[in-house]
Amino acid sequence: LAWLNTPAHWNNGASTIQAGDTLHLCGTLTNTLTVGGSGTVGNPITIYFEPNAKLSAPTLPNNTAFLDASGQNNLVIDGGSNGVIELTDNGTVVANGGTKTYGNNINGLELYPCNKVLVKNLLIQNMYVRQNISERVQGAGDGSGIVWSGSDLTVSNCIISGAMNGLMVVYGTAATSNLTVT
């Protein structure tokens, strides 16, 4: 992921990720991924989860996303047959009546703002597992599956659970239109 998180490795000539390329995620990845470039109309950049691939960690730093594609366009994020984005120990902490070690505000996907994005076949789970209904809301969302603004987002065949918001649409800072959820 260190190579992928280097901006110079996106849309910068040969041997970099460019429009029309497919990035294959394999195994269990425990760090964040920042998408550093856009595809073009008809040639999106595809991020594909190979079988059993997942982004998984107990938690991440507060106010981050596991996969951040903010500012990028013409993307496909495809969970393949069983792709997962998950946290395993984040939510209501013991001091608030829960069993979790961390109570950070983490998002599964940040697409803020992004245009022409397809998210499909993905399980996003446990961004913030609220275990005590009397626990006060900790932050500006306490973890969302997908945070999006822009135009032309399609979310298809995805399951989002264990999050304050499954899909959080952000209005007011950018034009937001054409959301399709199937």
97-124, pLDDT tens digit by residue? 889 999 899 999 999 899 999 999 999 9
The C-alpha atoms of residue 63 and residue 81 are separated, in whole angstroms, by 29
The pLDDT tens digits for 140-177 are 457 899 999 999 999 999 999 999 889 998 876 667 88
77 strand-pairing partners: 47, 119
Token pair 């107990």 is at which residue? 58
3-class SS at 8? helix
Q: Tell me: pLDDT of 70 over 80.
A: yes
Is 128:86 a contact under the CB 8 Å cutoff?
no
Is 37:46 a contact under the CB 8 Å cutoff?
no
Global pTM reads 0.94
Of 11 and 137, the structure prediction assigns the larger pLDDT to 11
Q: What is the pLDDT of residue 171?
A: 77
DSSP string, 96-165: GTS-BSB---EEEEEEEEEEEEEEEEEEEE-SSB---TTSPP-SSSS-EEEEEEEEEEEEES-EEESSSE
Residue 1 structure tokens: 């992921």
Q: What is the pLDDT of residue 143?
A: 87
> What number is the average pLDDT over the span 41-50?
98
Q: Tell me: pLDDT of 90 over 50.
A: yes
The pLDDT tens digits for 121-141 are 999 999 999 887 777 665 545
Q: What is the pLDDT of residue 162?
A: 92
The C-alpha atoms of residue 31 and residue 50 are separated, in whole angstroms, by 17
